[in-house]
Amino acid sequence: MKRTVVISGMLMIFTALVLSVRAGVATEAQSRLPAPHQATAGGTRGVEARIATLHAQLKITPAEEAQWKVVAQIMRDNAATLKALSQARVAQAPTMSALDDVRSYAQIAEAHAAGIQKFLPAFTTLYDQMSPAQQQLVDRIFRKRIHAHTASQTMPPAKS
């Protein structure tokens, strides 16, 4: 159960990273693209802000700092990979066929999955170093993120 919560929480962190990369400043060309092709250039500020927020929320101790740096670097690397793929997709969008569009989306999804696979062992090591009280705090934080994400994904029923 605890590992499931941790994994779910890590997925939420990585999803937040993807969203922070996508929440960067849109270029003029991007703003002219149809919705399925829109992506944003993103930036390191969003990733760095997310890392700083998580550092504070997770109450990283001096003893955990070295492992936190590993986790944070993986977050940066994953965000850079997704940013590069998203920028390439946007740049190629005007000449993409529907198949090219789906293939480029698949590349981004595969990079996201690969990023989670890199993130998981590093975050597991960090989590395992934490005290039981700190783990409980982290679990609560991640549960709130899951609940918030789930709530934002659901729409109220349509009225007839």
pTM strictly above 0.85: no
Angle at 27 between CA 107 and CA 155, to 5 degrees: 65
Q: What is the pLDDT of residues 87-134, one digit of tens each?
A: 999 999 999 999 999 999 999 999 999 999 999 999 999 999 999 999
Structural domain boundaries in the chain = 2-153
Count of C-beta atoms within a 10 Å radius of residue 58: 20
